[in-house]
Amino acid sequence: MSADVLTRPEARTRSESPKRRRGRRNVNVPGGVAAVIWLLIVVVPIYFIVVTSVRSQEAYVADGPLDLPTSPTLTNYQHVIDLGFGTFLVNSLIVAAGTVVLVLVLALPTAYAIVRGQSRWVRMAFTLFLTGLAIPAQAVIIPIFLLITRLHLYDSLTAIILPTAAFSLPMAVLVLTSALRDVPGELYEAMTVDGAGQALIFRRLVLPLSRPALASIGIFSGLNAWNGILFPLVLTQSSEQRVLPLGLWNFQSQYGTDVPGLLAAVVLSALPVLALYLFGRRQLLSGLSAGFGK
Amino acid sequence: MRERPGFVWAAPAAVFFAAFGIVPIAIVVYLSFTTWNGLGTPQWIGADNWSALLKDHDFPPSVRTTFFLTVGSWLVQTPLALLIGVWSAGNQRFRAVLSTIFFLPLLLSTAAIALVFVSLLDPNFGLAALWGKYLGTPDGNFLGDPTRALPTVVFVVAWQFVPFHTLLYQAATRQIPAMLYEASELDGAGRVRQFFSITLPQLRNTIIASSVMMLVGSVTVFESVLLLTNGGPGNDTKVLPLHMYQEGFIAFDMGYASVLAVLLVIVGTVLSVIVVRSTGYHRMTSDREGL
């Protein structure tokens, strides 16, 4: 494959004359080819999920996997809701919300101290979070299990929220720190000269100015919590505390042959994120790539 | 009145993170010298778990599997994400629609994706039965075949993460100043030359960041393998974190599992330190210098 093409994306040609732009339209052949192939690879499974979720059990066995459903039905959705997916959904929402609140409340003051503080301890805290980026959660799951059982939190949603929030913190602190660094120092100094204390500066200056970064961090840590499997798997047990990913897995192990039911549950579990995507696409995408916007 | 915020502002987060992120590393090192079944109190047994490592026949293959999964994932995902990311940063027709479709996998959780592919690759009813013959697999058995299982896992992991890395490359490509291209055009640079002399160097930080996440993520990939194959067929897709999970939470040999966990911490840290240091990413230098 020739790299002939990978050249410049058209976006940059906006400043050029229309004539030139016409000249270079659609030149990125390998990129285009890769994009079309990948498009098919993405679309086929998504199509499979949606059509199978509205197929009856009998039709799933009889029809081909990609046939259009002859008599679409919503019974699969009814079935999985009856099996408790409503509870799992609520549990996942609680875990995600708890994680987001904890991360935001802890990370913003830290970022403020790192950007404006001068003490050695603050610099050490920053090093701590930078180091934390490299620690894989899998590697410390055994001591976390030990901690959670010793705290008598085993099999509770709190048990999931605490470590999930902790492992979102390093990225959150890093992103907020780089956002606050963009705030000119004069703004802080002006407020100090006017006699404002740290608390007032934090409320009137830091909080409003970091709102976009807070949204990104919120989405980033919320999705982390929403998608997490490891902590719920190891730290909870009962079906009352079950979150969506484990609900899906459990459904598959118990009713392995009910693929339409499983895929209906998959669609249900994606709906909250889909809603987020439809109403805040920009925020969602920036949250996903938190820390790499720069 | 103090002019600067003190450590007090950072203390709650630092203590909280230390409790769940740093202290556990010390505990896991301690636990690797104990015998513990998950209940009761760990008993000190010295270096027995560490010498058991040498006799563990599952350990060398799990390291090899982790290595192939990591390298395979990087080789598949990086060129694809780079290619599609640079392409989708342009303004060709239908780009908005295409981008929306590209990013759809991001809406699904790891569990959902793994379980969907288990259904999709079912040799009896899934798409695998239908299309397997075009992919050299007439029996449609992708996940249950020793030679195909690992590449299939690499593919499913790529399906999940290529959109994310594409997103990073797309955003970074859009930030490359147009004047760099204009200047090189005046100097008579062709498109190949522009890609290698401008686009790639300008994406350097993104390539590093994306690769670090990909490498560290692949070394610790565990959920996808657990749900897709549970390490099978045989032990052919049993990666190191899965081996650790099974020793700890299935066989309840927490002491030996802690040995494997310590190795994971070392591998993860060494890997990110090497990549980050060798590339200078930690200094967060701007790639716009001199502009």
pLDDT tens for B61-91 read 999 999 999 999 999 999 999 988 888 887 6
Which chain A residue has the Cα nearest residue B259?
A: A139
Burial label for A81, CB within 10 Å (0-12, 13-18, 19+), is: middle
Task: Say which of B7, B13, B258 has its CB closest to residue A173.
Answer: B13
Are B107 and B98 within 8 A, CB to CB? no
d(CA B268, CA B279) in angstroms, rounded, equals: 17
| Cα distances (angstroms) measured from residue B283 to each of A36, A172, B157, B278 | 37, 18, 30, 11
> Using 50, 70 and 90 to split pLDDT, how confident is the model at B241?
very high
d(CA A255, CA A84) in angstroms, rounded, equals: 14
Are B143 and B228 within 8 A, CB to CB? yes
Q: Where do we find the tokens 């285009």?
A: A32
List B43's β-bridge partners, or say none.
B35
Measured between beta carbons, which residues in chain B are less than 8 angstroms from residue A270? 107-109, 112
**Contact across the interface for A7 and B9, Cβ inside 8 Å:** no
Burial label for B192, CB within 10 Å (0-12, 13-18, 19+), is: middle
Least confident of A150-154, B224-228, B277-281: B277-281
Measured between beta carbons, which residues in chain B are less than 8 angstroms from residue A7? 191-192, 194-195, 199
Compute the Cα dihedral for A129, A131, A133, A138 and give only its sign: negative
Q: What is the interface pTM, i.e. ipTM, of the complex?
A: 0.87
Which chain B residue has the Cα nearest residue A132?
A: B21
Q: Which residue has the higher pLDDT, A287 or B242?
A: B242
d(CA A275, CA B239) in angstroms, rounded, equals: 35
Least confident of A168-177, B52-61, B95-104: B95-104
| Cα distances (angstroms) measured from residue A18 to each of A25, A97, B178 | 11, 49, 15
Task: Write out the two tokens for B8.
Answer: 């007090």
Residue of B94, B161, B167, B191 best to disrupt the A interface, most CBs of A under 10 A: B191
d(CA A176, CA A153) in angstroms, rounded, equals: 30
> Which phi and psi angles does B43 have, rounded to 5°?
-110, 130
Which chain A residue has the Cα nearest residue B128?
A: A65
> Using 50, 70 and 90 to split pLDDT, how confident is the model at B206?
confident
d(CA B280, CA A233) in angstroms, rounded, equals: 37
Please tell me the predicted confidence (pLDDT) of residue A27: 62
For chain B, give every domain's residue range: 55-251+258-283
**Contact across the interface for A140 and B196, Cβ inside 8 Å:** no
Q: Which residue type does B238 have?
A: K
Q: Which positions 2-61 of B are in contact with A (Cβ < 8 Å)?
A: 2-14, 16-25, 27-28, 31, 38
Measured between beta carbons, which residues in chain B are less than 8 angstroms from residue A197? 1
Across A56-65, B23-32, B35-44, which has the greatest mean pLDDT? B23-32
Measured between beta carbons, which residues in chain A are less than 8 angstroms from residue B10? 109-110, 113-114, 117, 121-122, 125
Mean pLDDT of chain A: 84
Across A8-17, A147-156, A270-279, B268-277, which has the greatest mean pLDDT? A147-156
Residue of B1, B7, B15 best to disrupt the A interface, most CBs of A under 10 A: B7
Calculate the CA dihedral of residues A72, A78, A84, A86 and round it to 10 degrees: 90
Task: Say which of B3, B167, B220 has its CB closest to residue A136.
Answer: B220
Measured between beta carbons, which residues in chain A are less than 8 angstroms from residue B18? 128
Least confident of A42-46, A219-223, A267-271, B120-124: B120-124
| Cα distances (angstroms) measured from residue B42 to each of A194, B20, B32, B185 | 58, 19, 10, 68
**Contact across the interface for B209 and A292, Cβ inside 8 Å:** yes
Please tell me the predicted confidence (pLDDT) of residue A70: 80
Task: Say which of B115, B127, B249 has its CB closest to residue A234.
Answer: B249
- Rounded to a whole number of angstroms, the distance from the CA of B171 to the nearest CA of chain A is 7
Task: Write out the two tokens for A242.
Answer: 């079950």
d(CA B221, CA A259) in angstroms, rounded, equals: 25
Which residues 6+ apart lie within 8 Å of B57 measured at CB?
none
Residue of A99, A106, A140, A188 best to disrupt the B interface, most CBs of B under 10 A: A140
d(CA A84, CA A240) in angstroms, rounded, equals: 9
- Rounded to a whole number of angstroms, the distance from the CA of A227 to the nearest CA of chain B is 5
Task: Write out the two tokens for A212.
Answer: 């976009």
Q: Candidates 1.10.3720.10, 3.10.20.30, 3.40.50.1970, 3.30.1490.190; correct CATH number of B55-251+258-283?
A: 1.10.3720.10
| Position A4 pLDDT exceeds 50 | no
Please tell me the predicted confidence (pLDDT) of residue A251: 92
Measured between beta carbons, which residues in chain B are less than 8 angstroms from residue A30? 83
Q: Which positions 100-159 of B are in contact with A (Cβ < 8 Å)?
A: 101-112, 115-120, 122, 125-127, 129-130, 159
| Position A9 pLDDT exceeds 60 | no
| Position A96 pLDDT exceeds 90 | yes
Which chain A residue has the Cα nearest residue B10?
A: A110
Q: Which residue has the higher pLDDT, B212 or A12?
A: B212
Q: What DSSP letter does each residue of chain A carry, written as one string? A: ---TT-S--GGGGGGS-HHHHHHTTT--HHHHHHHHHHHHHHHHHHHHHHHHHTS-HHHHHHS-TTSPPSS---HHHHHHIIIIIHHHHHHHHHHHHHHHHHHHHHHHHHHHHHHH---HHHHHHHHHHHHHTT--GGGGHHHHHHHHHHTT-TTSHHHHHHHHHHHHHHHHHHHHHHHHHTS-HHHHHHHHHTT--HHHHIIIIIHHHTHHHHHHHHHHHHHHHHH--HHHHHH--SGGG--HHHHHHHHHHHSTT-HHHHHHHHHHHHHHHHHHHHH-HHHHHHHHTTT---
**Contact across the interface for B7 and A119, Cβ inside 8 Å:** yes
Which residues 6+ apart lie within 8 Å of B226 measured at CB?
A229, B114, B242, B245
**Contact across the interface for A117 and B262, Cβ inside 8 Å:** no
Which residues 6+ apart lie within 8 Å of A198 measured at CB?
B2, B5, B9
Candidates B32, B192, B129, B93; CA nearest to A66 is B129
**Contact across the interface for B264 and A136, Cβ inside 8 Å:** yes
Q: Which positions 167-226 of B are in contact with A (Cβ < 8 Å)?
A: 167-168, 171-174, 176-178, 181-182, 191-192, 194-196, 198-199, 206, 209-210, 216, 219-220, 222-223, 226
**Contact across the interface for A3 and B192, Cβ inside 8 Å:** yes
Please tell me the predicted confidence (pLDDT) of residue B137: 76
| Position A8 pLDDT exceeds 50 | no
> Using 50, 70 and 90 to split pLDDT, how confident is the model at B32?
very high
Please tell me the predicted confidence (pLDDT) of residue B209: 80
Are A116 and B5 within 8 A, CB to CB? yes
% of chain A at pLDDT higher than 70: 89
pLDDT in tens, A72-92: 888 899 999 998 899 999 999
